[in-house]
Amino acid sequence: MDLKTVTFFLTDKCNAACDVCCFKCNPQNDFVMDMDVIKRYIDEAADMGTVELICFTGGECMLYPELIKEAASYAKTRYGLPSSLVSNGFWALDLGRGSELMQELKEAGLSTVRISADNYHQEFVPVSSVKNAISILAKLGMLSEVTIMDTKSRANIKSMLARLRPEIYFAPKVTYYTLHLPGIVKDKMPCEELEMPVMWDAAYCMDSGSVQLYTDGYMYNCCSQFSFEIPHMRVGKIGETTLAQALNKINRDPILDLLRRDSVTWFARKAKESGYPVRERYTTSCELCRDILCNEELMAKLYPLAEEEVRRLRMERFMSI
């Protein structure tokens, strides 16, 4: 696997404290990633020659616009690397100031912004602010998408679309997703709120060739919010491990290799065969992945089987060349 994206979780602080936050962010948290660390890994990302995008997220990284400006500018001016960020749009409450701020970030090198909105976020961020953010970003050609999370009782999708009209029509893409379980969600949300759209035998790994530099000081294998709760997904320590070493670990680890090659269903099938109670349905494939990979006893049984399966798949591929 080539590394395509490096994601920096710049902070765990947020102006909001949503009941649906996968990362337990809130205004009291105070981690902010060091600029030297950011630059070091941008250097390494550029050296690899395969990285196409630098992502900034949090928390709410727009609480630190100067940090983003410097990091985006470093990636763009030094290496021509585009960067993107994820935000809840709080910074656009004042249309004029929001426009100026985003214009400055664009000039510094920031390419695109993804906006998160739903009825949980909007307990903390006024809808008018999100609408302003959408229109500012659309005007600047920087809006990549608006994501809306849904639960059963709040009927987010319909009501959020109505609340975001007419600005939502400027969004090039609107992505809906069902409520996930990691972070604070599992403590706050009753099970009745969860949709379970993924059958165990249709689960797939959405890993897309990325490494995440998370706020707990570790580097993770994949872009799922669940990965930070799966110790096996740790592929290095920020400041000690190079991106090349992290990628090497991803490519050589039989569990991570098999997840990408043969998806999550191989693990679910083997888990079932060994008597583990795999549920019929999950909120996402990644929840099933966490369910299995976080069970040490089960993984002790599956590890040698995974090694054997990877050897078999590699041989099969070699023979077909």
CA–CA separation, 209 and 95 (whole Å): 36
Binding characters for ligand SF4, 109-128, by CB under 6 A (x = yes): -------x----x-------
Interface residue with ligand SF4, options 37, 53, 196, 206 (CB under 6 A): 206
Q: Give the nearest distance from C-beta 278 to ligand SF4 in angstroms.
A: 14
Backbone angles phi, psi at 199, to 5 degrees: -75, 145
Smaller CB separation from ligand SF4, 42 or 286:
286
Three-state DSSP class for 31?
coil
Q: Give the nearest distance from C-beta 223 to ligand SF4 in angstroms.
A: 6
| CA angle, 10 then 12 then 15, to 5° | 105
Residue 25, interface with ligand SF4 (CB under 6 A)?
Answer: yes
Task: Give how many residues touch ligand SF4 by CB under 6 A.
Answer: 26
Residue 16, interface with ligand SF4 (CB under 6 A)?
Answer: yes
What residues between 249 and 278 interact with ligand SF4 by CB under 6 A?
259, 264
Listing DSSP states for 224-264 in one string gives: -GGGGG-GGGEEEETTTS-HHHHHHHHHH-HHHHHHHHHTT
Q: Are 288 and 282 in contact (CB under 8 A)?
A: yes
Binding characters for ligand SF4, 59-88, by CB under 6 A (x = yes): xx---------------------------x
Q: Are 114 and 144 in contact (CB under 8 A)?
A: yes
Q: Which of 21, 52, 30 has the alpha carbon at shortest distance from 125? A: 21
Q: Give the nearest distance from C-beta 133 to ligand SF4 in angstroms.
A: 12
Smaller CB separation from ligand SF4, 20 or 105:
20
Residue 10, interface with ligand SF4 (CB under 6 A)?
Answer: no
